[in-house]
Amino acid sequence: MSIFVTGGAGFIGSQFIRDYVVQNPDELVVNFDALTYAGNLENLDPVAHLPNYKLVKGDICDDQAVLAAMPDGCAAVVHFAAESHVDRSILSAKEFVVTNVVGTQTLLDIARHKKVGRFLHISTDEVGGSMEPGQWFTEDMPLNPSSPYAASKTSAEHMVRAAAHTFGMDTIITRTSNNYGPYQFPEKLLPLAISNAMQGDPIPVYGDGLQERDWIHVADNCRALMMVLAKGRAGETYHIGGRNPLPNLDVLRLLLKVTGRPESLLKHVTDRLGHDRRYAVDFTKTTRELGWNPEIPFEDGLRATVAWYQDNQQWVRRARSGEYRNYYERMYGGR
Ligand code: NAD
Ligand code: DAU
């Protein structure tokens, strides 16, 4: 049996693969990744030698490359690949439409052609737009994306649902809240703040810093994804969250306490354009149907994450300097 994972060199996809290949030694995992700036093969070092892991470098918008790489009789596509950073989508939205919408449609077409068993599409709580204070996003609420990133992820969701409705494909959509943990590219808030704190550099706080995000450890998220893949109902959407919406300033103050750095490192800067105030996902349905709950309390997960960045300063240095991008040629050059 085999599964086809897209974007497996990124933050969440690499955690999923590191866990999945070890837990399922009889299944082949094909990691199909274009290795954009967000793809870092060093994230897969712990499992790259295993016989049930295979890397194929390719773009999800390239029909021929996807067709050639997706194994016949593939049990599932697990689709992580995306342009994922909101700030970049504000600077330039086009790549987000191409990868997140056209790329998703390319995968759907080829998965249907290859009669893939199940298509698991990884989406985001941002498709619901900003929640009111105290409001929680449920699976049946209307979609109301704000940023170009969220709009592209919403469009992708619509294409997935259309494929299920029109062609009877077995598709599932998951919407996750803000993930944190090891191997996250240091452009997102927590890895950026951790590495800046470690160096004693200022930490940029957008606007008043009172925007709320619902933090979940990436390992908890991947455990949920495996349960959805194995036991989720076709055609359904499942929310995955931490039940832990916190203002950014609270998160950063806790981080400074954990790293032993002064709060004077926090520097308020111009706010993100169109910045959503609150995300908070209600995942009652996922708990009820699949028995899943997050297990890692935020403060424990944050301490472990800080410890990981402290213990892996070479990874951080190479991610920040861009050196990680030479890895493919060095390891796989000529193939
Ligand atoms: P990431 O940016 O760390 O990784 C994205 C991966 O996709 C990289 O390995 C990159 O090389 C690859 N990729 C990009 N364009 C590609 C293309 N055209 N063809 C093939 N591969 C391509 O992303 P992440 O944070 O791991 O997020 C993974 C998924 O989860 C995304 O779909 C994202 O929208 C979603 N998500 C992320 C979060 C979060 O907090 N990080 C929360 C909810 C949902
Ligand atoms: O909610 C899920 C989403 O979480 C995912 O779909 C996205 O792929 C992922 O990038 C993330 O989006 P956010 O915009 O919430 O994450 P980011 O880490 O960029 O920012 C988190 C919050 O911190 C947000 O309110 C903006 C703020 N921020 C961010 C950065 C990078 C700062 O205040 N300073 C910063 O330097």
Residue 29 alpha carbon to ligand 2 centre in Å: 29
Torsion sign over Cα 125, 128, 132, 136? negative
Pocket test for ligand 1, best of 11, 14, 176, 324 (most atoms within 8 A of CB): 11
| Å from CA of 196 to ligand 2 middle | 16
**pLDDT digits over 77-122, tens only?**
999 999 999 999 999 999 999 999 999 999 999 999 999 999 999 9
Using DSSP, state whether 31 is helix, strand or coil: strand
Regarding pTM above 0.85, the answer is yes
Catalytic residue status for 53: no
User: Do the beta carbons of residue 164 and residue 158 sit within 8 Å?
Assistant: no
CATH code: domain 2-184+216-243+275-298 is: 3.40.50.720
Tell me the best of 78, 84, 123 to mutate to test the pocket of ligand 1, counting ligand atoms within 8 Å of each CB and taking the most.
84
Q: Which atom of ligand 2 is the closest one to the Cα of 187? A: 31
Known catalytic residue at 125:
yes
Please answer whether residues 189 and 248 qualify as being in contact, where contact means their C-beta atoms are separated by less than 8 angstroms: yes
Q: How many Å apart are CA 157 and CA 236, to the nearest integer?
A: 12
pLDDT digits (tens, 9 = 90+) for 112-168: 999 999 999 999 999 999 999 999 999 999 999 999 999 999 999 999 999 999 999
Q: 206 catalytic, yes or no?
A: no
Give the model confidence (pLDDT) of 279-299 as tens digits: 999 999 999 999 999 999 999
Entry field: residues in the chain: 335
Q: Enumerate helices (H) and strands (E) in the chain, giving the number of each.
A: 13, 12
Sequence spans of domains, the chain: 2-184+216-243+275-298
